[in-house]
Amino acid sequence: MTNLSLKTDLLGIGSRFDRLQSHLDPTILGILNKALDGKDISVEDATKLFEAKGLTFNLLVIVADELRKRTVGDVVTYIVNRNINFTNLCIKRCGFCAFSRGKLDEEAYSLSIDEVVKRAKEAWAIGATEICIQAGLPPRMDPYLYIKICKAIKKELPDIHIHAFSPEEVVYAANCAGSSVEDYLKTLKDAGVDSLPGTSAEILDDEVRRYISPGRITTKEWINVIKSAHRLDIPTTSTIMYGHVENSLQKAKHIDLIRQIQMETHGFTEFVPLSFVHSEAPMYKTGRLGNRRIEGLRKGPTGAEVLKMYAVSRLMLNNHIKNLQVSWVKEGPKLSQICLNAGCNDFGGTLMNESISSAAGAQYGQYMDPKEFRNLIRDIGRVPAERSTTYRILKIFDQNDNCMSSK
């Protein structure tokens, strides 16, 4: 029989625990105990946790929250930043993306470098410490456009953190320049890139990638960009996009791959689960991708699946990536609060302008005021703090919204 003492203490039900044992899956209890003992859980373990239901599902969430508390305490962080999606022109047509446009589309746009700098300066003026830059892949792109953007921003704002260019964008620009990925990353770093978003990951399983985004970079290419960045001391985030056609095993393998990379490079700052937003996604609206019908496509994850994603991610990554970010744009403020009690410790960024999720049909706006972050965090009994991109605490706030410390 699995040793249940740790879980008895967590549930706080003492002798009443015996009456609940018949409702609990002993295999899952064993996995949870392994995590509470500080051990890594396996892909097989995680797959089982993704299928947890009833009381064992509730216990999974409790254990994830306990591990969060042990590892990062009760502080919940956020960052004051601005997203600048400088063009929606894109040569690719991924099935999940409602943002991209062709050059003849009425809604197509491209911001000038001067406009990008102007928006960066506006953000800096109201307290942003980070600019997040991502966009489509415009046809016949100047291979040094990214370099020019970064140099122009750093000329005006040398201290702002440029968090920019996904692995997909890096591969595209490097190919346009006839350069290796590593050499292009060196040029980006010299131009002022401080970190990379680990997006364009979706599910790091080529079978799934070929299904929902043929023509997208492969898993191997994504890994190469990330590892190359880490070798150059360029930190990155890591992500997963789920709730479409993937299964529990594929999700578990994806998180395990992130874990393996982190054990090798130690270059990830955070892990960010991203729910598939279906309403405007081309493959959902048409049921097809090109001439192929998409079978088994879902309307994004359910609420239970979202909580399980955060909880399982905490259990799998707790010993390696301590920061788990909730996407309030995808989940909304209310569900995001609940995710903060399921292993999550970061509320993400203010964003100011966010076009990609909004285009897909996300319903929760493009800006979150820092005061709203702090109110939501205090509402669940936690301590709000503003952070930098690399999770250095900048300000901690008390119950009266006064800054208790500043660094």
For residue 41, what are its two tokens?
A: 């859980």
Supply the pLDDT for residue 295.
74
Asked whether residue 264 falls in the same domain as residue 306, the answer is yes
Same domain, 132 and 265: yes
Q: What is the largest CA-CA distance in the chain?
A: 69
With a CB cutoff of 8 Å and minimum separation 6, the contacts of 285 are none
Burial 15-32 (b: 16+ CB within 10 A, else e): eebeeeeeebbeebbebb
Are residue 178 and residue 282 in the same domain, yes or no? Answer: yes
59 and 121 assigned to the same domain: no
Q: Are residues 10 and 127 in the same domain?
A: no
For 383, phi then psi, to 5°, come to -110, 120
Q: What is the CATH number of the domain that holds 322?
A: 3.20.20.70
Verify that 375 and 258 share a domain, yes or no.
yes
Q: What is the pLDDT of residue 14?
A: 42
So what's the pLDDT on residue 95? 56
pLDDT at position 359:
44
SS3 of the chain = CCCCHHHHHHHCCHHHHHHHHHHCCHHHHHHHHHHHCCCCCCHHHHHHHHCCCHHHHHHHHHHHHHHHHHHHCCEEEEECEEEECCECECCCCCCCCCCCECCCCCCCCECCHHHHHHHHHHHHHCCCCEEEECCCCCCCCCCCHHHHHHHHHHHHCCCCEEEECCHHHHHHHHHHHCCCHHHHHHHHHHHCEEEECCCCCCCCCHHHHHHHCCCCCCHHHHHHHHHHHHHCCCCEEEEEEECCCCCHHHHHHHHHHHHHHHHHHCCEEEEEEEECCCCCCHHHHHCEECCEECCCCCCCCCHHHHHHHHHHHHHHHCCCCCCEECCHHHHHHHHHHHHCCCCCCEEEECCCCCCHHHHHCCCCCCCCCHHHHHHHHHHCCCEEEEECCCCCEEEEECCCCCEEEEC
As a whole number of angstroms, the distance between CA 246 and CA 201 comes to 13
Question: Are residues 168 and 37 located together in one domain of the fold?
Answer: no
Q: Are residues 61 and 197 in the same domain?
A: no
pLDDT of residue 297: 82
Give the pLDDT confidence score for residue 9 in this predicted structure.
54
* Among 72, 94, 114, residue at a domain's last position: 72
* CA–CA dist 177, 91 (Å, integer): 16
Distance CA 291, CA 122 (A): 44
Same domain, 150 and 192: yes
Q: Are residues 34 and 139 in the same domain?
A: no
Q: What is the per-residue pLDDT for 2? A: 41
Number of domains in the chain: 2
Structure pTM?
Answer: 0.90
CA triple 345-220-173, angle to 5 deg:
90
Q: Domain check: are 17 and 135 in the same one? A: no
At residue 136, the pLDDT reads 87
Give residue 406's pLDDT: 62
Each residue's pLDDT, cut to its tens digit, for the chain (407 residues) gives 344 445 545 554 444 445 566 667 888 889 999 999 999 999 999 999 999 998 899 999 999 999 999 999 999 999 999 999 999 898 876 655 655 565 656 678 889 999 999 999 999 999 999 999 999 898 999 999 999 999 999 999 999 999 999 999 999 999 999 999 999 999 999 999 999 999 999 999 999 998 888 888 999 999 999 999 999 999 999 999 999 999 999 999 999 999 999 999 999 999 999 998 866 666 655 655 556 677 778 888 999 999 999 999 999 999 999 999 999 988 999 999 999 999 999 999 998 754 444 444 445 456 789 999 999 999 999 999 999 999 999 999 999 888 886 65
Q: List the domain range (segments joined by +) for residue 58.
A: 5-72
- Contact assessment for residue 203 and residue 240, using Cβ atoms and an 8 Å cutoff: yes
Q: Which of 57, 72, 87 is the last residue of a domain?
A: 72
- Paired tokens of 63: 């254990």
